[in-house]
Amino acid sequence: MLYDLIYTYSCDWPSLTVQWLEDLTASAQNNLITAKFLLGTHTTDAHQNYLKLYGVDLPLTLVSDENFGSHPISQIDPVDTETSQRRLHLLRKWRHPGEINKVRFDEQLGLIATQTNSGDILIYDYNDIASDTSVRTLKYHLKEGFGLEWSPTSQGRLLSGNEDSKIALWDLSSLRGQQSKTVMKPSRTLATHTGIINDISWNCASSDIFASISDDGSLQIHDLRAADSDVAIRVDKAHEGKAINAVEFHPTLSSFLSTGAVDGSISCWDLRDASAPVKKLYGHTGPVLNLKFKDNLMLSTSVDRRVLLWDLNRISGQDSREHDRKDENADASLIFVHGGHTGRLCEADWHPKLDNVVISCAEDSLVEIWRPLHIEDEFDYEEQEAEERKGEEEEEQKNKQHEEAGVSKNELNKHVNEENVTVKAESVTEKSDDTAINKPSDTAAIIGSSNDVQPDTANTIDHKHPSRDVNMD
């Protein structure tokens, strides 16, 4: 078993983008939570496209907090039907002119931004229940694009980057609650790239710093406090001149980011010294399209139809600038491979509140919700190994000290054995009259221990059978 859960849903049309929402609702009656996500359609010209909001029923046990809302998880009876955990609800949909290249939601403002195939950026009001169309159109770009990101530190700041090689900054902080459909212009534009801009990422610590990457092969770090033509950090040929498709700042380490390129490689950068990446990761066999962090875990999606999960805590302390090279050996940082899709992966996203729950979409018209099995347990195992090694080193040091004091190891072991025999004899003498004690066999003890730690599968799907496809529309 590789998964704690894996649900597969079949859509009428492919989706190029997907994003979890933070909002969760709980049902104390049947031990479920409903998680929400946004999905955009990619239809043919003859069919209407929609921005869709879905709710999916998941086991309440996925919530890591001791209490969720007013319902203590420990006091809720487990659900005993698989179907109740697999239901998908179409909660809402908005009409969209043309395909949706990317969707991004601002939780604070309640605004949804979408990239269109025309170059326009559309803004939808999540809180306006009566409306099924956009409330604003942002016009500047002349071609379609995939770079779109809300600022995590400055409310209402939106960045866009398109195939016209331009970057636009939009200020929508005053838009909340307004229903006017007037066209807006960018507050600032930048033209520092010479190729298609594929992705943009805001810095976690500054509302003025962001990263952009392009088909021109460069990684650029921008500071909005500088002039439009200035670039704070420019790394030309960041992937040996190859086009770069994805960039993502670490959510808490402001100087750390990753980039993914068309050659399948991923580079990890420390901006305190951007002369070369601190680590290069090899695992994909096709172009990398999307990167997403959660703490020190990172998801990468690719044309090769796989989502890879990386643990950046496993990055070697060796200088990768000299030692890294592509070979057939798996990178130690690669801890999980999701291969459930049959078409090119478009995007994957970590749920912001549910531990290690991922949603992924692809050109195969499938949406998959999954969680790898026991990621934390693997970390605990490594910590256990480290403790065992520490104990062995301490024991060796003690033996060495005894030898230096003139006591040989054989004499020491003999002394210890004599002590053990004495203790054992005393113990036998004390218990010789106690007929109520039945000592279990070693085999029985081992079996009993293993049974005590069997995983609780009451709230997961049957891993013996593949998930059934469920039509979403």
Walking along the chain (473 residues) 10 residues at a time, the average pLDDT comes out as: 89 96 81 93 92 93 60 41 65 95 95 95 94 93 96 95 97 68 85 97 96 98 92 96 97 96 97 95 96 96 96 68 47 91 95 95 96 67 59 74 56 48 41 35 28 32 35 51
Which residue segment(s) compose the domain that 444 sits in? 380-424+439-452
> 113 in a domain, yes or no?
yes
Q: In this structure, is residue 473 part of a structural domain?
A: no
In the prediction, which pLDDT does 388 show? 65
How far apart (Å, rounded) are the C-alpha atoms in residues 209 and 341? 35
CA distances, 250 to each of 160, 310, 380 (Å): 19, 13, 23
For the chain, helix (H) and strand (E) counts, in that order, are 4, 32
The verdict on 7 and 150 lying in the same domain is: yes
pLDDT score of 61: 82
In a domain, residue 466? The reply is: no
Do 370 and 261 lie in one domain? The reply is yes
Strand partners, 63: 354
The pTM (predicted TM-score) of the whole model is 0.76
Kindly state whether residues 281 and 411 are assigned to the same domain.
no
pLDDT confidence of residue 385: 57
Would residue 415 count as lying in a domain?
A: yes
Cβ(9)–Cβ(88) below 8 Å = yes
pLDDT reported for residue 66: 45
The DSSP bridge pattern shows strands 279-282 and 297-302 to be unpaired
By C-alpha distance, which of 39, 15, 35, 10 is closest to 24?
Answer: 35
Q: Distance between CA 231 and CA 222 in Å, rounded? A: 5
464 lies in a domain? no
Q: For residues 211 and 341, state if they share a domain.
A: yes
pLDDT at site 325: 47
| Closest C-alpha to 289, from 208, 343, 230 | 343
Burial 323-352 (b: 16+ CB within 10 A, else e): ebeeeeeebebbbbebebbeebbbbbbbbe
> Is 133 within a domain?
yes
Residue 461: name the closest of 354, 373, 384, 389 by CA. Answer: 373
- 75 shares its domain with 217: yes
- Rounded CA gap, 360 and 369, in Å? 7
Cα–chain-centroid distance for residue 114?
A: 21
Give yes or no: residues 399 and 374 share one domain: no
Q: Are residues 284 and 398 in the same domain?
A: no
Evaluate whether residue 432 is within a structural domain.
no
CA 348 from centroid of its chain's CA atoms = 7
Q: Do residues 399 and 354 both lie within one domain?
A: no
The reply to whether 298 and 413 lie within a common domain is no
| Closest to 100 (Cα-Cα) out of 159, 52, 166 | 52
What was the pLDDT predicted at 431? 41
Sign of the alpha-carbon dihedral angle for 314, 316, 320, 326: negative
Express each pLDDT in 343-371 by its tens digit: 999 999 999 999 899 999 999 999 999 99
**Is residue 320 included in any domain, yes or no?**
yes
Rg over alpha carbons for the chain, rounded to the nearest Å, is 28
Which residues face 270 on adjacent strands? 256
The CATH number covering residue 198 comes to 2.130.10.10
Could you identify the residue written with the tokens 């636009």?
A: 168
- The verdict on 330 and 389 lying in the same domain is no
Query: Structural domain tally of the chain?
Result: 2
Say yes or no: 271 and 392 in one domain: no
Question: Cα(330)–Cα(307) distance, rounded to whole angstroms?
Answer: 15
344/402 same-domain check? no
